[in-house]
Amino acid sequence: MVLFRGDIKCKSLQRRTSISVILPADNLHFLNDTEEIVEKPYRTLYLLHGLYGSDDIFLANTSIQKFAEDHGIAIVIPCGENSFYLDDYDSHRLFGEYIGQELLDITRNIFPLSDKREDTFIAGFSMGGYGAIRNGLKYCQNFSKIGMISAALITDDIVSYGDNSNVLYSRKFYESIFGNLDEVKGSDKDPKHLIEKCADIPEIYMACGIDDFLFENNADFYRFLNSQDVDATFVGDEGEHTWEFCDKYIKEFVKTL
C-alpha cells in the first residue's frame, strides 16, 4: 500500500489544495514472503469528508487505508473545506467542478487510475454524502456508483433555518454556501431535482444510523428514489452520527464495488 499526501494546483479553485491518495501498490507481506499484485490501472473511489474536515480526516478516524489495500482499490480524498462541494462563482471556489471533473483529470494524470466510468466511484460522509450525491449526479457520466453515509440531505429543510449560533442550523452560514435558500429547491443543488433530470443515474448506496439526526432526511430521500424507480440500497442500522458508523459503512460500500 502506498499513501501519498501532498498539494495540487487546480484551475477550479484558482490555488493549490491538499489531497490524500491511497494506492493498492507494493503489497508486500514480509513475514509470509509473499506479494500481491493489483492490476493497473486501479479502480478508484473519490471519498469526500464532512463539515469541519480535511483530506486527512478519514485516515485519522477510520481504517479505510488498510481496507483499501485488502480490496485492491485506490482512494482519493480531497479537501473540500466547508463548501458542501458546491460552486461559488463570486469567489471562484468551484468545488463542484473540481470534484466532479478536474480532480479526476489531475489524479489520473499523476497516478495509474482507470478512466473508465465503471471503475470510478464517489462517496462521502455527512456533508461529503451530500457532495457525493450532488456531484455524482451532476457529473453522472464520470461515476458508476454513489455512496452516501449519514448524508447531510438538508435541501428540503434549509429554508426553515434561522439566526442560529450553531453553524449546523444557521441560515446565514447556508446562504454563504447555497446562495438564496428560496431558490435551492429545483436547482442543481437539489438532489431530487438532479435525479429527475439525470439521464444515466449511477447506482446509489445509502446508510444512516436510526438515532442519527439526519435519519429521516435519508429515509425520505430513499423513498423518493423508490418512487422514481432508481436502483438504490438503503441500510438503516443502530447508530448515530459518528465515525464508528462511518467506518463500518464506508467499508460496506467498498465491498459492493
User: For residue range 64-119, what is the model confidence (pLDDT) as tens digits?
Assistant: 998 998 899 999 999 999 999 999 999 999 999 999 999 999 999 999 999 999 99
What is the residue whose three cell numbers read 509473499? 34
pLDDT at 168: 85
CATH number, residue 139: 3.40.50.1820
**220-239: b or e for each residue (b if 16 or more CB lie within 10 Å)?**
ebbebbeeeeeebebbeeeb
DSSP letter at 256 equals T
Tell me the whole-structure pTM to 2 decimals: 0.95
- From 21-35, 129-143, 202-216, the region with the lowest mean pLDDT: 21-35
Mean pLDDT for 198-208 is: 96
Question: Residue 157 sits in which domain range?
Answer: 2-255
DSSP letter at 86 equals -
As a whole number of angstroms, the distance between CA 17 and CA 77 comes to 11
H or E element that contains 113? none
pLDDT at 169: 85
Higher per-residue confidence, 158 vs 138: 138
The pLDDT of residue 35 is above 70: no
As a whole number of angstroms, the distance between CA 53 and CA 81 comes to 7
Mean pLDDT for 43-58 is: 96
Structural domain count, the chain: 1
6: nearest Cα among 67, 61, 56: 56
